[in-house]
Chains A and B, each alone.
Chain A
Amino acid sequence: MKKILPALAFMLLLVIPATILHAGAQTGQTYAITGAGSTLVFPLMDTWRVQYNSLHSNIHLNYQSIGSGAGIKLLEQKTVDFAASDAPLQPSDQQKAPGVLTLPESIGGITISYNLPGIDKGLKLTGPVIAQIFMGDITMWNDPAIASLNSGINLPAQKIEIAHRADGSGTTYAFTDYLSKVYPQWKTDVGQGKTVPWPVGTGAQGNAGVANIVKTTPYACGYVELAYAYQNNMTYAFVQNADGNAFVEPTIDSIAADAASANLPAADGDWSQVSIVNQPGSNSYPISTLTYVMIYKDLSQVNGETQDKSQEVINFLSWIIHDGQKFASPLLYVPLPDSIVKADEQGIAQIQFGGSTIPEFGPVAALVLAIAIVSIIAVSAKTGLKFAPKL
């Protein structure tokens, strides 16, 4: 009886590494690419996951939409292949995660949505007026500053109910970026960030929360991402462009026009000051933001990364900036203009594994390695049973 136990333990010792290696060898061609971050980009990312898997059945994307900040945290801990964020890496993040490439992967636009009974979309607003509304300096809908821009519209003498994001968010980052640029007093009094000290208004969770407040509250006004505004049939303002010669409706085209005019750094450069708001062009809608994929230039430092998996990650990223872009418009994301696709291509070309280019490391090699390790264990176990427990 007592001799069975060590024998069993010995067998287990043989079986365990063999199974693990066997499983590893068998799934050698299947890869799970992990990403985490932005909730804004999740619907698009999820479409990419499904579409890419239908093209390459061995690649599974696991993207967790846990928020941009949380995604960057996981990138710093090196537990995901890439992070997706609505805001660029800040200097403090760059220190914690050196050697990260920033690759814009889609563009989002932000609408000023309102609920004015009897008034359709197209209320005209300028940047400074929007800033004053969200600062609480303009409190009534029939304020002369709004009325003078909208002759012919009968504005109600009602208080403006402000709705803003309560959770930290890339949408807030881009919106306050715009307000800081067009109205200096906003920059000094409130500032720019994912969470800012709002002087007035009610906070809600997510774009859906703000959209809900604006939809259900007469005389409410809030900033809502383009897709949410379209899907909820909201009325939104036309905003004066940077040139100051037109009021532009937020559409996929007008937002793309804005992004195409922006000057961007190289993928491994400092993106913390990057902003595509308020770009020139008569048809540029001024409130827009890039969303980014962030990935280590040297993928070998990511936990669990292998050379051939890195290759698959690169293939995937290359697909999303090219073929993947055609899935953006139906979901009301703005496809990347050619200039940004070119910049991304150069960025992706820099990705390496352990400082070397990435050679093939096929499943056959894994199988050979597995057999070698198993036989070493088997031989060493047969010659001396000393490491088996004595009971």
Chain B
Amino acid sequence: METVKLKGGSPLFDKIFKIAAAIAATYILALITLIVFQLITGSYQIWTQEGISFLTGSDWNAVEGSESYGAAPYIVGTFVTAGLAMLIGVPISIGIAMFLSELAPKFLRSILSFVIELLAAVPSIIYGLWGMFIFRDYIRDWIEIPLNNVFGNNVWFFSGTPFGLDIFTASVVLAIMIIPTIASISREIMIAVPNSQREAAYMLGATKWEVFKMAVIPYSKSGLVGASILGLGRAVGETMAVTMLIGNATGPNAFPSSLFSPGQTMSSIIANEFAEASQGSLHMAALIGVGLILFIVAIAINIVAQLLVSRVLKAHQGAVLA
């Protein structure tokens, strides 16, 4: 039997190490508690003043003397833009992941995966500026105006005045932003499907599509949902790019009346108005209240996503999610 001799090991050092590790771990908990505490105390004033109508109302008036706040249009705006972004982004992401895990030649896989990770790291302000100065003109002239001319009078969601800074543009750019996130996680999940599954399907004479349908999808289904929800989390919290593209309507006007109408999300109204709201005012409390709602939504989304992703990864032992 061999014994290992440790140099300098002492009970005291062990104790210090334990305490240090515990402090590091407590930091996370303390941070989240502080955030919640701040959000609640900061927005206390708005809940006592507006009550439930802060959630359901649509007034947004920061003029001193006639103040009144309702966050409903921004909650709706957040879910509409994030939902549209998912509608566009998820099929493309799954397509990318499918190509990378099942179809792409080996040398392409690593290059493309690297590029996707790279795209996920592009700061959102870059997407915002690009969207505002370049993409907006194309989307207005090539998509919005033709659609509006053809369907504008009959189909409500193509009505309005195409302007290029609206819910549609914001959603498309959001979709572009969440595709790398969803695609890279989906790829990991599809790679985690055991090869024996694929081999079994091939043995039965399945084509590539049938293998994907019979072996890969059933195994990775809940993981793919989880990946998409992580993308949704990013879409819901995204601030700068959305603020620059969504048109920033306030009050009842911010309810999305069509794809081509300006809107507002929870994060964009905070970004717009926080710097100039005066300390301790009802306006400030309202903005922090919006932050609290956003925080709760984001936590709910992340919990659901983590549960789904971890379930699929647990189901397949040996699968590793980066």
Does residue A193 face the partner (Cβ distance < 8 Å to B)? yes
- Residue pair B248, A203 in contact (C-beta under 8 Å): yes
Interface residues as binary, A57-89 with B (CB distance below 8 Å gives 1, 0 otherwise) = 000000000111110110010000000000000
Give the complex CA separation of A96 and B279 in angstroms.
Answer: 9
Residues of chain B with a CB closer than 8 A to A166's CB? 243, 248, 250, 268, 272
| A195-B283, A202-B262, A203-B249 known; A167-B278 Cβ under 8 A | no
Interface check A267, CB cutoff 8 A: no
Q: Is B105 an interface residue (CB 8 A)?
A: no
Q: Does A159 contact B (CB under 8 A)?
A: yes
Verify if B207 is at the interface (C-beta below 8 Å from A).
Answer: no
Task: List the A side residues contacting B136 at CB < 8 Å.
Answer: 216
Q: Which residue of A lies closest to B240 (CB)?
A: A205
By a CB distance below 8 angstroms, the chain B residues around A159 are 161
B163 touches A191 (CB 8 A): no
- Distance, CA A98 to CA B267, complexed state (A): 33
A199 within 8 A of B: yes
The yes or no answer to A197 lying at the interface (CB within 8 A) is: yes
Listed in ascending order, the chain A residues whose CB lies under 8 Å from chain B are 66-70, 72-73, 76, 90, 92-93, 96, 159, 161, 166-169, 190-205, 209, 212-213, 216-217
Contacts of B280 in A (CB 8 A): 92, 96
B64 touches A199 (CB 8 A): no
Would you list 11 pairs from A and B whose C-beta atoms are within 8 A, ordered by A residue? A68-B276, A92-B64, A166-B268, A167-B275, A202-B166, A203-B249, A204-B165, A212-B133, A213-B165, A216-B136, A217-B164
Closest to B68 in A: A197
Beyond the given pairs A201-B262, A203-B262, A216-B137, 5 more chain A to chain B contacts, judged by CB atoms under 8 angstroms and listed by A's residue number, are: A70-B275, A167-B275, A168-B273, A190-B63, A202-B247
Q: Any chain A CB within 8 A of the CB of B251?
A: yes
Residues of chain B with a CB closer than 8 A to A72's CB? 278-279
Specify which chain A residues have a CB less than 8 angstroms from the CB of B268 in the assembled complex: 166
A168 touching B60 in the complex, CB below 8 Å, given contacts A159-B161, A204-B165: no
Q: Give the residue among A96, A159, A194 with the most B Cβ atoms within 10 A.
A: A194
Within 8 Å of chain A (Cβ to Cβ): is B59? Answer: yes
Residues of chain B within 8 A (CB-CB) of A209 are 132, 244
**Separation in Å of the B299 CB from the closest CB of chain A?**
27
| Min distance, Cβ A188 to any Cβ of chain B, angstroms | 9
Scan residues 35-82 of chain B and give those whose CB is less than 8 A from a CB of chain A.
Answer: 59-66
- Min CB gap A140→B, angstroms: 13
**Within the complex, which residue of B61, B62, B133, B163 is in contact with A202, where a contact is CB–CB below 8 Å?**
B163
Which residues of chain B have C-beta atoms less than 8 A from A73's C-beta?
278-279
B217 at the interface (CB under 8 A from A): no
Contact of B62 among A96, A195, A199 (CB under 8 A): A195
Which residues in window 223-275 of B have CB below 8 A to A? Answer: 243-244, 247-251, 253, 262, 264, 268, 271-273, 275
Query: In the complex, what distance in Å separates the CA atom of A204 from the CA atom of B249?
Result: 9
Assess the A196–B63 pair: CB atoms within 8 A: yes
* Cβ–Cβ contact B272 & A168, under 8 A: yes
Select which of B60, B247, B272, B283 is within 8 A of A167 by beta carbon: B272
B281 at the interface (CB under 8 A from A): yes
B133 near A194 with CB under 8 A, answer no
Residue of B at shortest CB range from A198?
B250
The interface residues of chain B lying within 8 Å CB-to-CB of A76 are 279
In chain B, residues 130-153, which have Cβ atoms closer than 8 Å to a Cβ of chain A?
Answer: 132-133, 136-137
> If the complex has contacts A196-B62, A197-B251, A202-B247, are A69 and B161 also in contact, measured as CB distance less than 8 A?
no
Q: State how many angstroms separate the Cβ of A192 from the closest Cβ of chain B.
A: 6
Q: Which residues of A contact B250 (CB under 8 A)?
A: 166, 195, 197-198, 203
With a cutoff of 8 Å between Cβ atoms, the chain A residues found around residue B62 in the complex are 168, 193-197
Residues of B within 8 A of A (CB): 59-66, 132-133, 136-137, 161, 163-166, 243-244, 247-251, 253, 262, 264, 268, 271-273, 275-281, 283
Chain B residues with Cβ below 8 Å from A161 are 161, 163
Give the contacting residue for B277; candidates A96, A168, A197; CB below 8 A: A168
Our count of residue pairs bridging A and B at CB distance below 8 angstroms stands at 110
Measured between beta carbons, the chain A residues less than 8 angstroms from B264 are 203
Residues of A within 8 A of B275 (CB): 66-67, 69-70, 167-168
- Given known contacts A72-B278, A92-B281, A202-B163, is B273 in contact with A195 (CB within 8 Å)? yes
Q: Cβ of A66: which chain B residues have Cβ within 8 Å of it?
A: 275
A196 vs B276: C-alpha distance in the bound complex, in angstroms?
12
User: Which residues of A are found within 8 Å of B164, using beta-carbon distances?
Assistant: 217
Please name all residues of chain B whose beta carbon is closer than 8 Å to the beta carbon of A190 when the two chains form the complex: 63
Distance between A178 CB and nearest chain B CB, rounded to angstroms = 15
Contact in complex: B132, A69 (CB < 8 Å): no
Name the residue on A nearest B275 (C-beta).
Answer: A67
Q: Which residues does chain A contribute within 8 Å of B65, judged by CB atoms?
A: 191
Q: How far is the CA of A93 from the CA of B136 in the complex (A)?
A: 40
Asked if B163 and A205 sit within 8 Å, CB to CB, the answer is no
Which of B66, B247, B248 has the most chain A CB atoms closer than 10 A to its own CB?
B248
Q: Are A69 and B248 in contact, CB atoms less than 8 angstroms apart?
A: no
With A161-B163, A166-B248, A212-B133 in contact, do A194 and B276 touch (Cβ < 8 Å)?
Answer: yes
Residues of B close to A217: CB separation below 8 A:
163-164
* Chain B residues within 8 Å of A203, by CB: 247-250, 262, 264, 272
- Name which residue of chain A comes closest to B166, CB basis: A202
Docked Cα-Cα span, A205 to B240, in Å, equals 10
Cβ-defined partner of A204 (8 Å) among B248, B251, B276, B283? B248
B contact residues around A196 at 8 Å (CB): 61-63
- Give chain B residues whose Cβ lies under 8 Å from the Cβ of A195: 62-63, 250, 272-273, 276-277, 283
Known contacts A168-B272, A169-B276: A202-B165 contact under CB 8 Å: yes
Are A198 and B253 in contact, with the CB atoms below 8 A?
yes
- Asked if B132 contacts A212 (CB within 8 A), the reply is yes
Q: Which among B243, B271, B278 is the interface contact of A90 at CB below 8 angstroms?
A: B278
Q: Smallest distance from the beta carbon of A262 to chain B beta carbons, Å?
A: 22
CA distance A318 to B121 in the complex (A): 48
B243 → chain A closest CB, angstroms: 7
Question: A205 near B262 (CB under 8 angstroms)?
Answer: no
Complex CA gap A65/B251 in Å reads 28
Of A67, A93, A167, A169, most buried by chain B (CB within 10 Å of CB) is A167
Chain A residues with Cβ below 8 Å from B132 are 209, 212
Contact (A202, B279) CB under 8 Å given A159-B161, A197-B63: no
A159–B132 alpha-carbon span in the complex (Å): 22
Chain B residues with Cβ below 8 Å from A96 are 279-280
Within the complex, what minimum Cβ distance (angstroms) separates B255 from chain A? 14
| Alpha-carbon distance A66/B165, docked complex (angstroms) | 25
